[in-house]
Chain A
């Protein structure tokens, strides 16, 4: 049991280390970079809305 807990602790520690290591993006934030990342966020948000819409409408259709 202890070894499993230690395993999880090590794993989460590794994730914290990675987050710390890559905390600051190294790429120079030019207008092109900012605009591209903004567009990407909007796009992914749109996809997420579509996924939720499809999921909810499927659930509504299945409710008698």
Chain B
């Protein structure tokens, strides 16, 4: 075979691989990129402003952690054809089922409020009134779901994932010293020592990496997309690509504030965007656009994770492939979550800070349960057959789950006792 023929067949193989990937990719990339939601972006900007490039290595570690947890949902969804809520009801009975469903809905609603806070703050920088932002978001998210096709919804959502990459040009615009980024950022160390503040930031970054809604969302999305057991390797690749992008975005987001705002106390990503404007108008603008997009992606996935879960448990039609009149309750839950969260943000004097703090507490009560159920289900041979966790996966996943539970509980304790780390 001559060189031209070899090139031709190699090219065909690559194109076939990419076409298949484009067909099957979606839930993993979506869930991972949406993981960098408004709260996540705030955490990264605050971390960059506090410790400079010093914790980039830590963000890199979070990628594999997110991958190993989310990969389990791919296998569980593809094998059982059930969402996580239904799987919990079925395997552990109605007590744990109701606990998970109630806590998920509450946590999702509170997180949705925090996404709306982020989105309204982001567009507020451009002078857009909060109520217009809320209306725009609800209309856009309504259009995305009511067309009645999972595939279309997913591809639109993936387009919003591409916008999330806006932090990469933003980082180049602030002209960081790249040699310093590599020298300081990739060397595992704790700038200023492992003190209370450092521990708080580590916990906050871990807390944004795995949220309960991610477990429920990806498993339901895998089921709605109708991924089969043979598609599991593709689902795993999709999740790995997503984990890569979530870390990439987190690093560039951190670099932006580390380069120009080091030493500043950042309390929200919107504050960071405003603070960036004097240094680079475009970087500040990109930060604000990125924050809106992050909140939007988070809102897309979070509201769906609740409506999927409620639909599964109540036995209602609950697929994005259903039209509104075929699955009225599924869409009713979706819009009820969105509308109520949007309206709360518009109420003057609403306790938004308390809500933001309570998100941590609610998530910490649900996360251990969701992760423990996930591991137990993945070890059930009767349910999973050949796809159950092997020894290596168990060692890695148990270690990750124990660490996640400890760190997220520690983070939640800061909501109960704000001074315990000082």
Contacts and interface: CB of A to CB of B under 8 A. Distances in A.
A54 B416 contact: yes
A24 B93 CA distance: 6
B315 to A, nearest CB: 8
Interface string B372-404: 100111011011000000000000000000000
A22 B365 contact: no
A33 B361 contact: no
Nearest to B313: A18
B376 A32 contact: yes
13 contacts: A18-B97, A18-B313, A21-B89, A22-B90, A22-B93, A25-B96, A32-B379, A36-B375, A40-B368, A40-B369, A43-B409, A47-B412, A50-B416
Contacts of A40: 368-369, 372
Interface in B299-336: 313-315
Interface in B396-422: 405, 409, 412-413, 416-417
Interface of B: 89-94, 96-97, 99, 313-315, 361, 364-365, 368-369, 372, 375-377, 379-380, 382-383, 405, 409, 412-413, 416-417
A56 interface: no
Given A18-B313, A33-B376, A36-B376, A25 B368 contact: no
Nearest to B86: A22
A11 B273 CA distance: 46
Contacts of A33: 376
Interface in A21-41: 21-28, 32-33, 36-37, 39-40
Interface string A40-51: 100110010011
A23 B314 contact: no
A25 B92 contact: yes
A26 B91 contact: yes
Given A23-B94, A32-B379, A54-B416, 14 more contacts: A18-B89, A18-B313, A22-B90, A25-B91, A27-B92, A27-B376, A27-B380, A36-B376, A39-B372, A40-B368, A44-B99, A44-B369, A50-B416, A53-B416
Contact of B92 (A37, A39, A51): A37
A23 B93 contact: yes
Interface residues of A, number: 24
B365 A44 contact: yes
Contacts of A6: none
B410 to A, nearest CB: 12
B89 A51 contact: no
Nearest to A46: B409
B132 to A, nearest CB: 34
A19 interface: yes
B91 A43 contact: no
Contact of B90 (A19, A26, A43, A53): A26
Nearest to A48: B365
Given A18-B313, A18-B314, A25 B93 contact: yes
B97 A28 contact: no
Contacts of B315: 18
Contacts of B417: 54
A51 B90 contact: no
A23 B99 CA distance: 14
B46 to A, nearest CB: 24
A13 to B, nearest CB: 11
A27 to B, nearest CB: 4
B320 to A, nearest CB: 23
